[in-house]
Amino acid sequence: MNNSNCGCCYGTGCCGSAGSLEETRQVVVDFLYLDLNVCEWCKGTEKNLEEAIVSISNVLGLAGIEVVLNKINVNTEELAIKYKFISSPTIRVNGRDIQMEVREKPCDSCGDLCGEEVCCRVWVYKGQEYTMPPTALIAEGLLKGIFGCEDVPEEDADYVLPENLKRFYSAMKNKNQCS
């Protein structure tokens, strides 16, 4: 039986194909955020993301998967455009958001940070909204992103910086110029 084109996404060594069981596969997890000093939502998301990675580390180790965690402070419009940043905070697995639906609510922390009303992301899990994603939501999202193997075509739509982020970056520029 030829398994070289088995359709799974575990790479060399899966489904009986040739390869060493010692091989590892890297999965890139990006954590994109506006602020980790003031914003309670971003700080809580960072903490829960780290807990989620630890909670699934045994499974990932058994599967020969290494997580590369990138923490990206999207503190300028240029970075927002580079990363096609939609809302803060965001968690992506290999470039794909772990929760495609984006909902936002006013974030007092980021509002205090820039001096304007700013909305940040809220997460939906089991029918409820959370300002910080529960560890279980993140773990599920990571596992789906790593093992889901969905062939969902990437969106080729042109990125447009959301108005909410434009207000934030503009307010931060004004605040920094006044300092």
**Is residue 5 a part of any domain in this protein?**
no
* pLDDT at position 84: 96
- Say which CATH number the domain at 141 has: 3.40.30
> pLDDT per position in the chain (179 positions), as tens?
344 444 444 444 444 434 445 688 999 999 999 999 999 999 999 999 999 999 999 999 999 999 999 999 999 999 999 999 999 999 999 999 999 899 999 999 999 999 999 999 999 999 999 999 999 999 999 999 999 865 555 555 789 999 999 999 999 988 777 75
Q: Are 83 and 130 in contact (CB under 8 A)?
A: no
**Is residue 30 a part of any domain in this protein?**
yes
**Is residue 6 a part of any domain in this protein?**
no
Domain extent, residue 100, equals: 23-149+158-178
Distance CA 150, CA 154 (A): 11
* pLDDT at position 174: 86
**Is residue 91 a part of any domain in this protein?**
yes
**Is residue 17 a part of any domain in this protein?**
no
Residue 156's Cβ-count burial label (10 Å; 0-12, 13-18, 19+) is exposed
* pLDDT at position 177: 75
* pLDDT at position 19: 43
Q: Are strands 65-73 and 90-93 parallel, antiparallel or unpaired?
A: unpaired
C-alpha distances out from residue 157 to 73, 150, 163, Å: 24, 20, 17
pTM for this predicted structure? 0.83
Distance CA 59, CA 143 (A): 9
- How many structural domains compose the chain? 1
**Is residue 164 a part of any domain in this protein?**
yes
**Is residue 15 a part of any domain in this protein?**
no
Which pair of structure tokens corresponds to residue 152? 């969902």
* pLDDT at position 150: 57
Helices (H), 56-134: 57-62, 77-83, 108-114
**Is residue 3 a part of any domain in this protein?**
no
